[in-house]
Structure 1
Amino acid sequence: MPVLPGSPPVEVHLKRSARARRFSLRVSRLDGKVTLSIPTRAREAEAMAFLRGQEGWLRQTLSAIPETAARTVGLGATLPVEGLPLLLAPGSGRGLRVENGQLLVPGDPALAGARVAAWLKVLARDRLASASARYAARVGRSYSSLALRDTRSRWGSCSPDGRLMYSWRLILAPPAVLDYVAAHEVAHLVELNHSPAYWRVVTGICPDWRQHRGWLHEHGSTLHRFRFQD
């Protein structure tokens, strides 16, 4: 991974693209990730020269992002799990476990972030499958499959053939918020739109949905700020 020297040095993710006709530099407002897209045949030396030419803009943009924007998950970090902050600490044995406000992570500390992410995805699938089945029973419908993604544009989706998709990062939010997203998507099994009829279905199975949707609007972006591995 290229690094722009300076104080501090800046890691740059180089992305070669057959569709790129010129160099393009982007900075994620969520986590500060720097991506430089370049044409497939461009040389890395040319990319670095372009990067140095944009250094002033790049550092100014990065400085405008709050320091709390990107949070690397590792031992010693605090991470919300089902809305409750847990301190990541060394553990023993094979599996991760929650104990006295801590998430105990055994094994190599360098792999803690990746192990936590894998554990969270299993927990997210369990919680979302349970909520989806519960709401599907209430509306008298069934879904065909359930998948987890790390999507930034949406928290969930429902396809015309009944396939449900959710962001696994919902497991970081309070349980009622995760439940609301499940209710929102399951309601699409009845009404595949956002018509008044659809919202009546949502209200029937999740009466306080406005409160939980408000939480996502206000705090949802923070769930994307946790980096679990480089």
Structure 2
Amino acid sequence: MKPRVPRPTSPEDALPDSILLPAGPFPITWRRSKRARRLSLRLSRAGDSVVVTLPPRVSPQTGLSLLNAHRDWIVRQLQRQPAAISFAAGSIIPINGVAHTIHHTPEGRGGAWIDTDHKLHVSGDAAFLGRRVRDFLLTLAQKRLGQRLQELAGRSGFAPKTFALRDATSRWGSCSTAGRIMLNWRLIMAPHFVQDYVILHELAHMKHHNHSAAFWTLVDQMCPTRNEAELWLKNHGLSLMRAG
């Protein structure tokens, strides 16, 4: 048996996976990009890590120096992040854009259900409440978003091959060249006009697999409320991405 030859190490292998902030360690995501023209530092879309992007000729040590020099900036950015939506008893969560209060109803049956007073009742042991809320939203998203996709596809003349939900923290949807549309299940918490915009956005990708001027012209034709929906996502999307 030949001895295993160790894989050559690179400077990236020695980079830390977190940075120490006053509140404790905070995750770092290192990215080497051939297309990046400059070294950059940003928070991830979900706000759960700081992303350092290294252009081809920039050393990891330079990226680390930038990171350490901007600790205060990272702290300020984190302080500006909206609070995550909690799936806990007493919490208020949006469903189709409407605020609902989570009520633990241990003696109830059926997992979770909504009453006429915009209360989301969750039965069973309190230890499983968060999971049951998530399962309820996933089931609702599969039904509501799936039906709406079919309706809007029929109106626009597009015919997606398949539909699936995804659990993403940075994207609301995607459309493959094969016609497979995937939507973020957290979209079920957004208002209907925002859901429609994301669905129509992905349907437009069935004709234009890019973000060209022709693509946006088509989106505007199909979705007159595009600007309002984008503004809503800009103001509230991060809270939904961090829900759970």
User: Could you state the TM-score of these two structures normalised by the residue count of structure 2?
Assistant: 0.67
RMSD: 2.8
**Structure 1 residue 34 displacement after superposition:** 7.6
Amino acid at match of 2:114: V
Establish whether residue 25 from structure 1 lines up as the match of residue 18 from structure 2: yes
CA distance in 2, matches of 1:192, 1:31: 25
**Structure 1 residue 83 displacement after superposition:** 0.9
SS for the counterpart of 2:155 is helix
Task: Kindly indicate whether the alpha-carbon contact (under 8 Å) linking 2:102 and 2:120 is maintained by their aligned counterparts in 1.
Answer: yes
**Structure 1 residue 33 displacement after superposition:** 5.3
Q: Please, which of 122, 129, 145 is the counterpart of residue 162 of structure 2?
A: 145
Identity of aligned residues (%): 35
Task: Kindly indicate whether the alpha-carbon contact (under 8 Å) linking 2:160 and 2:180 is maintained by their aligned counterparts in 1.
Answer: yes
CA distance in 2, matches of 1:194, 1:34: 27
1:81-92 counterparts in 2 under 5 A?
Answer: 81-91=95-105, 92=108
Name the residue aligned to 2:112: 96
**Structure 1 residue 22 displacement after superposition:** 4.2
| Residue-pair matches, total | 188
Deviations 1:194-220 (A, max 9, x none): 223222322232222111111111211
CA distance in 2, matches of 1:23, 1:221: 26
Name the residue aligned to 1:49: none
**Structure 1 residue 21 displacement after superposition:** 3.0
**Structure 1 residue 152 displacement after superposition:** 2.2
Name the residue aligned to 2:192: 175
- C-alpha spacing 1:196/1:63, structure 2 compared with 1 (3 Å): closer
CA distance in 2, matches of 1:126, 1:25: 39
1:57-96 counterparts in 2 under 5 A?
Answer: 61=75, 65=79, 69-91=83-105, 92-96=108-112
1:5-44 counterparts in 2 under 5 A?
Answer: 20-25=13-18, 27=26
Task: Kindly indicate whether the alpha-carbon contact (under 8 Å) linking 1:97 and 1:105 is maintained by their aligned counterparts in 2.
Answer: yes
**Structure 1 residue 101 displacement after superposition:** 2.0
User: Could you state the TM-score of these two structures normalised by the residue count of structure 1?
Assistant: 0.71
